[in-house]
């Protein structure tokens, strides 16, 4: 029995309710589940509900496995892209701003200004992911590898002005984490565009 587009959409919706939030993973598992259900006689919706109930743990294990794959892809590109000219330009701009602030501000204020620059960079890095959440756009598995990074580097960045007495090292640190944060923006947009072109043909979720 070949499944209709509406039945495929029902599988996708069922997987979403079962906790599989990433769009690309649902697509892969939707194909897997559809192939199984096509071989089963009887009522489709009953078979679907029964399959999900009986295989919930298996589906979540597969979800976690695919999440790790997506996260690795995101992190690999993130660190590779640190050598790009765009990231180098951000680093140079933040570093130059730090040197200028060092000349015109009080020494005790340098850390505060550099932290504020880092906050701006962090907001730029987080913007695409946050904007897509508010726009209710689909999320992809690569996001699991990079979405937590701004939060991860926030805590040491708050206290770094107290830990680094040397202003040169302080400027260098915030230039690095600022460039890294903006790099998240570049990589997220690049990966989202790539994943969206690959997976956007999935049928719309059933209501």
Which residues neighbour 104 within 8 Å (Cβ) at sequence distance 6 or greater? none
pLDDT above 80 for 148: no
Span between the terminal Cα atoms of the chain, in Å: 23
Q: Which of the four pLDDT bands, split at 50, 70 and 90, describes residue 204?
A: very low
Which residues neighbour 6 within 8 Å (Cβ) at sequence distance 6 or greater? 203, 206
* pLDDT value of residue 127: 87
Residue with tokens 């589906």: 59
* pLDDT value of residue 205: 43
Contact 189, 128 (CB under 8 A): yes
Least confident range from 133-137, 162-166, 174-178, 201-205: namely: 201-205
Which residues neighbour 16 within 8 Å (Cβ) at sequence distance 6 or greater? 26, 205
Query: CB under 8 Å, gap of 24 or more: what pairs does 62-65 form?
Result: 62/25, 62/29, 63/19, 63/20, 63/22, 63/25, 63/29
Read off the pLDDT of residues 151-191 as tens digits, 9 standing for 90 and up.
888 888 888 877 777 899 999 999 999 999 999 999 999 99
The residue among 10 and 105 whose pLDDT is bigger is 10
Read off the pLDDT of residues 29-43 as tens digits, 9 standing for 90 and up.
888 888 888 888 888
Model confidence, pTM: 0.80
């Amino acid at each position: 029995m070949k499944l209709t587009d509406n039945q495929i959409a029902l599988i996708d919706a069922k997987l979403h309710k079962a906790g599989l939030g990433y769009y690309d993973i649902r697509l892969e598992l939707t194909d897997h589940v559809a192939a199984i259900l096509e071989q089963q006689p009887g009522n489709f919706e009953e078979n679907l509900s029964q399959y999900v109930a009986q295989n919930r743990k298996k589906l979540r294990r597969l979800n976690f496995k695919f999440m790790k794959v997506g996260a690795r892809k995101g992190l690999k590109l993130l660190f590779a892209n640190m050598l790009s000219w765009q990231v180098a330009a951000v680093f140079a701009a933040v570093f130059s701003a730090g040197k200028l602030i060092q000349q015109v501000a009080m020494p005790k204020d340098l850390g505060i200004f550099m932290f504020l620059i880092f906050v701006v960079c962090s907001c730029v890095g987080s913007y695409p992911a946050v904007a897509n959440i508010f726009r209710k756009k689909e999320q992809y598995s690569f996001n699991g590898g990079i979405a937590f990074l701004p939060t991860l580097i926030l805590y040491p960045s708050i206290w770094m002005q107290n830990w680094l007495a040397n202003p040169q090292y302080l400027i260098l640190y915030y230039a690095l984490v600022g460039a890294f944060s903006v790099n998240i923006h570049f990589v997220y947009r690049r990966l989202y565009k790539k994943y969206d072109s690959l997976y956007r043909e999935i049928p719309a979720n059933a209501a």
